[in-house]
A and B are shown apart, each in its own frame.
Chain A
Amino acid sequence: MSVRYQKLADLIVDRLGALVQRHVVARGELTIEVAAADLIEAMTRLRDLPEFGFDQLVDLCGVDYASYRNGGWEGARFAAVYHLLSVANNRRLRVRAFATDDDYPVLPTVTAIWSSANWYEREAFDLFGLLFDGHPDLRRILTDYGFVGHPFRKDFPLEGHVEMRYDPEQRRVIYQPVTIEPRVNQPRVIRDDHRYAGQGE
C-alpha cells in the first residue's frame, strides 16, 4: 500500500512541481500541503490530469491547531483538509491548505471544481470561521439561526456561552448565559511513549 502511495507521491511532485510544499506518506496514506494561493491551480490539475483523476471530493474539514500538543504549534492556526478520491484509479489523497492570516482566515473556494464542496465549505465556515473566497452561498449550516461564534474553535468552551429555556413569566423561549460549570473528568495527557518513537512525523 505504502509503495503504491510513494509512487503516487513522486508522480504528484513531478507533475505539480513547486505547488506542493510538503508531502508525507504514512500508514498507507498520502498527504500533501499546498499554499492557499496555489490551491485552485493544484486542485484543478489533480482533477483533470488523467494520471490522477481525482473526480470526487469525499470530505472537507477545518482544523484549528491552536492547542496542538498543548500549545506547542508553530505556524498558521487554521487549515482546511480535503480528502480526494479517484474512482477511476482507485486512489485517495489528502490535501492540506493553511490559511495565512489567523485573525481573518481565508481560502479560495473549490466549489467550481467539485460541487460537493458547497455544503462542506459552509460547514467549515460555520464551525471554524474559515472564509471561502468566491463561495456562492456562504451561510451557517449546522448551528442555530442567529448563533454567535464558531463553536469548533479550540478557544470556544465545550459548554458554549448561552443556553436556551422557556421563561414562564415572559411566556417565550429566552437565551441566558450558561449555568453549568466547566468540568474535566479525565485530563488530556500526552506521554512520550517509547513504543511509538519515530512514528508519526
Chain B
Amino acid sequence: MAEIHNYTINFGPQHPAAHGVLRLILEMDGETVVRADPHVGLLHRATEKLAESKPFNQSIGYMDRLDYVSMMCNEHGYVMAIEKLLGAEVPLRAQYIRVMFDEITRILNHLMWIGTHGLDIGAMTMFLYAFREREDLMDMYEAVSGARMHATYYRVGGVARDLPEVMPRYERSKWHDEDDVKRMNANREGSLLDFIHDFTERFPACVDEYETLLTENRIWRQRTVGIGTVSPERALQLGFTGPMLRGSGVEWDLRKKQPYEVYDRLDFDIPVGVNGDCYDRYLVRIEEMRQANRIIRQCVDWLRDNPGPVMVDDHKIAAPPREAMKAGMEGLIHHFKLFSEGYQVPEGEAYAAVEHPKGEFGIYLLSDGANKPYRLKIRAPGFAHLSAMDEMVRGHMLADVVAVIGTQDIVFGEIDR
C-alpha cells in the first residue's frame, strides 16, 4: 500500500473567505487540518509608530482605519486614553452621543460580520439583507461627520460637533422621480435623532428576519454547531474578549463590569453562550444587536430632552469657536497653537479599554510630557483571537476553517495595525 503523507496547502492571502489578507499555511491529513499557521502582517502600516511622530489630535483619523468596520469605537479608545492622562472631563451630552454612536457602530460591525460569515458558509442572502440596514447606519455617520466610514468624529474632550437638526435628503434625479424621492425621504423629514428613532423602531423586525433565515436553518446549524469549540478556561488563557469570550460562557463585558461614559445609567443585558461553539457566538452577537438597539433608543430619548455643550470648555485642548478665533486675539492664539503644536500631555502612562464590537479594544499610552505620544500600543481584540486559530481548527475539516475565520470576526486593519 502506498504511504500517504500529510500535505501542506496555502490559503490566501487573496481569498474571498480570508476577510482581507490572511495567509494560512494548513497542514492537512486528507481533509482534516493537522496544523494551521496564520501569516499576518500583510497590511502592516506601523500605525503605532506613525502616531508617535505626530501631535495627539492628528492620529484620531488613523484609528478609524484600524478596524475599518467599527470606526468610532476605535476612536473612542484612543481619545479616552488621552483624556485619562489629561484628566479632562467630557460633557454629559458628548458622553451620550459617544455611547449612541458606539452602539450604532456595534450594529454596523455585527451586520458586516453576519453578512460575510453567512456568505462564507453558504447563506448568500444574509449579505444583501445586512447591507440594506448598513446603508441607513452609514447615513447616520455621514450626517454627523460628513464621512460614511472614516468619521474622525470623536475628539479629546468631546465630539467634533453637535448632532445636526436636519437630516440630508434625496433629491430628484433622472433615476428617481417625485414619488420615489418622496418615499425615500419619508423618514428624513426631521432631525438626525428622528431618523435614528425611526431606525430603532424598524430594526428589531429586521433582526427577526435574519433569525428566520439562519437560527433554525438546518444547513446553518450543521456548519456551526460544535465547530471551533472553546472552553471558558481556554478562552481566558487565549486572551479572548468580547463575544468570543461570552460565547464560551464567561460573563464579562466592560460596559457592565468597568463601565465608562454613561453605560452605568443605561439599561441593557449581556447575552452569554453555553457551549462556546460557532453557533453560540452567532446567538450572542444576534442578541447584542438587539441590546445595542435598546441602548440607542435610550440615548435618543435622553439626547432629545437635554441640549448642552458637546465639547469641553478648555481651549488648551479643544479649538475655540470660529467667532472667537476671528474676533479675538486670545482665540486666535489658542487656535494657532492647537493646530500647529498641539497640546502637551502630562508625563505618565494610561491604559483605556472600550468594549469594542469584537472584544476589548485597548490603548496603552506612554507620554513623556511632549505634544506627541512617546509610545502608543493598540490592543486589538482580533490579534488575540487569530492567534488561537491553530487551536480552534485542529482536527476540523478544511471547510470549517472558513467557519472559524468567520466566527472570529477577523478584520486585518486592526490585526496588522
Contact = CB atoms under 8 A, between A and B. Distances in A.
A94 interface: yes
Given A142-B40, A143-B41, A200-B347, A119 B383 contact: yes
A29 B346 contact: no
A69 B368 contact: yes
Given A29-B351, A68-B374, A94-B351, A83 B342 contact: no
A116 B384 contact: yes
B40 A27 contact: no
A64 B48 CA distance: 13
Contacts of A180: none
A63 interface: yes
Contacts of B366: 63
B253 to A, nearest CB: 11
Given A143-B41, A189-B371, A58 B362 contact: yes
Contact of A90 (B48, B234, B258, B386): B258
A26 B365 CA distance: 14
Contacts of B257: 90
A35 interface: no
B238 A115 contact: yes
B380 to A, nearest CB: 9
Interface string A36-80: 000000000000000000011111010110001100000000000
Interface range on chain A (Cβ under 8 Å from partner):
35 or more
A188 interface: yes
A119 B252 CA distance: 23
A200 B350 CA distance: 10
A144 B40 CA distance: 9
B348 A199 contact: yes
Given A29-B350, A141-B40, A189 B239 contact: no
B49 A114 contact: no
Contact of B239 (A57, A94, A143): A57
B349 A31 contact: yes
A58 B239 contact: yes
Interface string B390-417: 0100000000000000000000000011
Contacts of A140: 41
Contact of B375 (A63, A115, A200): A63
A101 B168 CA distance: 60
B197 interface: no
B148 interface: no
A158 B342 CA distance: 20
Interface string B373-388: 0110101000110111
Contacts of A186: 54-55, 340-342, 371-372
A81 interface: yes
Given A119-B384, A186-B340, A143 B372 contact: no
Given A81-B364, A87-B236, A143-B44, A188 B370 contact: yes
A56 B346 contact: no
A196 to B, nearest CB: 4
A83 B362 contact: yes
Contact of A193 (B346, B353, B364): B346
A87 B50 contact: no
B170 to A, nearest CB: 40
A55 B252 CA distance: 13
B277 interface: no
A190 interface: yes
Contacts of B350: 27, 29
B344 A193 contact: yes
28 contacts: A26-B349, A27-B87, A27-B350, A59-B379, A68-B374, A92-B351, A94-B351, A114-B237, A115-B237, A115-B239, A115-B388, A119-B384, A119-B386, A152-B46, A186-B54, A186-B341, A189-B344, A189-B371, A190-B344, A190-B368, A193-B344, A193-B369, A196-B344, A196-B369, A199-B346, A199-B347, A200-B347, A200-B348
Interface of B: 40-41, 44, 46, 48-50, 53-55, 84-85, 87, 234, 236-239, 241, 250, 252, 257-258, 340-342, 344, 346-351, 353, 360, 362, 364, 366, 368-372, 374-375, 377, 379, 383-384, 386-388, 391, 416-417
Interface of A: 26-27, 29, 31, 55-59, 61, 63-64, 68-69, 81, 83, 87, 90, 92, 94, 114-116, 118-120, 123, 140-144, 151-152, 158, 184-186, 188-193, 196, 199-201
- Closest 9 CB pairs between A and B? A116-B239, A196-B346, A200-B347, A119-B387, A142-B41, A61-B377, A200-B348, A59-B379, A142-B44
